[in-house]
Structure 1
Amino acid sequence: MLLHILFMIGITVEAMSAALVAGRREMDWLGVCVIACVTALGGGTLRDVLLGRHPLTWIEHPGYLALVLGAAAVTMLLAPMMKRLRSAFLALDALGLAVFTVIGCNIAKELQLHWLIILVSGVITGAFGGVLRDVLCNQIPLLFRKELYASVSLLVGAIYMTAPHLGIAHDAGMVAAMAIGFSVRMLAIRYHWEMPKFVYKEDWE
């Protein structure tokens, strides 16, 4: 139940933040709604397609799609006020990353897949909605930049999967994974923690 509530909050926040990105790109209302849906539901959709899991989550639960569209519409109406909520958006986005990762891992785990596929499913669910958003908005995806984002998702998935082997109950392990992932992401934002960059320059002359 808690995971479901957090999921609803997560897709709402992702939809609203995506709508703001679309607004900066001066998209019309249809473009804003598409970007919001792709961001909030795209990671889970990509996961389900790759795993052959049908029906897709938002097709099985149309209410998720309605919630995302409603969040996008509210954002368009209240856009001038959104700047004041930047800190809240960052915190909720960090929470969403952790929640989506656990959900993705849990779904793949229920399908009894290899541990590596479970981990990848968590990262896809947690981070690839943002990748699709950035690609459609002609930006370098956050996942491929130096910020700690996908690495946080990997950490959450690893903790979630390791917890049962340490004798930790499922729910406790799930909460611990999300709490640690959320904390690391927030600390990374606060202290500008970054992944090392690969820079290759060569003089061909």
Structure 2
Amino acid sequence: MLTNIFIIAITAEAMSGALAAGRRNMDLFGVALISFITALGGGTVRDMLLGNYPVTWTQHPLYIYLTIGAGLATILLARFIHRLNQIFLVLDSMGLIAFTIIGCNVALKLGYDTPVVIMSGMTTGIFGGILRDIMCNRTPQVLRHELYASVSLVVAVVYLTLMSLGVSHGVNTWGTFFFGLLLRLSAIRWKLSLPVFSYSPGRWGD
């Protein structure tokens, strides 16, 4: 199941990267690069941090063709994409949860301790979007809008907790996935977010 969702998710993420590049008036190479980084950047950073070589996408060239192709196709479809905004939000949410669970499993197979496993899941889930926004010169959206990075954290914790309780892999994966998806979609629906720290020097008398 996660593999199929992964394919859908990296396609949707690549398209979101292309739209971000378009807002910055980038050329075709820029669109392709941002699409690729948005879709596969999280897994790449995770593999590098964990020493998990070769990096996953280097063993699956299809991912390269898929993400770059989706990014370039977005140029042709851009005028219609605003009508599909709700679908994109659902696909992005599915990708976040799937990436997080996949990232946790990679670290678990490598024998890392729980804190590292959680960070591996979160890195896989959110770092592609962070890299996209940095390269597009804007504050990462995953850190300032509805619950996103925190959803990844909760998903990783729930997944590992159920595993420690002896819940079967299939039930754990499905249960965690749908719980995380419900949490993320609820955050979008009711605009749930963490408290914001706003610092202004004049406000504090500096």
TM-score w.r.t. length of structure 2: 0.96
Q: What amino acid sits opposite 1:122 in the alignment? A: G
Is 1:192 aligned to 2:194, yes or no?
Answer: no
Q: Give the whole-Å Cα distance in 1 for the aligned partners of 2:88 and 2:4.
A: 17
Shift in Å at residue 78 of structure 1? 1.1
| More divergent stretch after superposition (140-149 vs 105-114) | 140-149
Structure 2 gaps, min length 5: none
| More divergent stretch after superposition (139-148 vs 11-20) | 139-148
1:81-120 alignment, distance < 5 Å: 81-120=80-119
Q: 1:146 to 1:83 in 2, by over 3 A?
A: closer
Structure 1 gaps, min length 5: none
Match of residue 164 from structure 2: 165
Count matched residues: 203
Q: Is the 8 A contact 1:146 1:196 kept in 2?
A: no
Q: Give the whole-Å Cα distance in 2 for the aligned partners of 1:166 and 1:55.
A: 32
Report the 3-state secondary structure (helix = DSSP H, G, I; strand = E; otherwise coil) of the residue aligned with 2:26. Answer: coil
Is 1:63 aligned to 2:42, yes or no?
Answer: no
| More divergent stretch after superposition (123-132 vs 54-63) | 54-63
Q: What amino acid sits opposite 1:164 in the alignment? A: M
Q: Give the whole-Å Cα distance in 1 for the aligned partners of 2:180 and 2:141.
A: 17
Q: What amino acid sits opposite 2:143 in the alignment? A: F
Match of residue 203 from structure 1: 205
Q: Is the 8 A contact 1:98 1:126 kept in 2?
A: yes
| More divergent stretch after superposition (41-50 vs 194-203) | 194-203
Is 1:51 aligned to 2:53, yes or no?
Answer: no
Q: What amino acid sits opposite 1:200 in the alignment? A: Y
Percent of paired sites with the same residue: 48
Q: Give the whole-Å Cα distance in 1 for the aligned partners of 2:49 and 2:163.
A: 26
Q: Give the whole-Å Cα distance in 2 for the aligned partners of 1:86 and 1:199.
A: 29
Shift in Å at residue 146 of structure 1? 4.5
Report the RMSD for the aligned CA atoms in angstroms: 1.0
Runs of at least 4 residues of structure 1 off by over 3 A? none
Q: Give the whole-Å Cα distance in 2 for the aligned partners of 1:180 and 1:132.
A: 27
Match of residue 3 from structure 1: 2
Q: Is the 8 A contact 1:19 1:75 kept in 2?
A: yes
| More divergent stretch after superposition (36-45 vs 19-28) | 19-28
Match of residue 75 from structure 1: 74
Q: Give the whole-Å Cα distance in 2 for the aligned partners of 1:20 and 1:164.
A: 38
1:136-155 alignment, distance < 5 Å: 136-155=135-154
Shift in Å at residue 200 of structure 1? 3.2
Shift in Å at residue 74 of structure 1? 1.2
- Listed one character per residue, the Cα deviations across residues 143-189 of structure 1 (whole Å, up to 9, x for unaligned) are 32152111000011111111122231111111111111111111111
Shift in Å at residue 70 of structure 1? 1.1
TM-score w.r.t. length of structure 1: 0.96
Q: Give the whole-Å Cα distance in 2 for the aligned partners of 1:94 and 1:149.
A: 9
